[in-house]
Chain A
């Protein structure tokens, strides 16, 4: 089986490489998002040209991050891939329900100032919980 050990290294190498790439792309996106968020006020006094450049860079970084995430998903083995895809499906449903419910809290007068970005926390937590639960259910010894 010595030759077969090489295959496992390939899987691990593939996942490590795509994880590193995803980390770098996500970091780049976070940095460009911060620049877009704070730059106009702190660094260039709302200059429209610089703001547009920051916006375009942020969008490009976002698209590159999306592609890195897709490559990372494709580098996984099939059980990992299926687990993540199912977690994404659950997250989509949870996010949809949470968005509608959270949005109606403002219209019925329970909350005064709803922030759409708060839904990102629901999405993140839902995805992490779904991956852990699905993976443990399938791989428990």
Chain B
């Protein structure tokens, strides 16, 4: 699964540590999600959606879909 977490984070001028703090996860987890090495759980995906005030399907999408 791909995502545009890095873009959304950069738009807000947040570091990975800032985002990790907001989501109550480690910075390594944010990094792994951004790089597509780890797909977050549904609760964490919803938490990310709430934080960026966007539906999760606008943040996460399958590899075949366009960003």
Contact = CB atoms under 8 A, between A and B. Distances in A.
Interface in B8-26: 14, 17-18, 20-26
Contacts, number: 50
A80 B41 CA distance: 13
Interface of B: 14, 17-18, 20-26, 28-29, 31-32, 37-38, 40-41, 44
Give chain A's interface secondary structure class: helix
A78 B44 contact: yes
Interface residue range, chain A: 10 to 19
Given A7-B23, A8-B24, A138-B37, A78 B18 contact: no
A47 interface: no
Nearest to B25: A77
B36 to A, nearest CB: 11
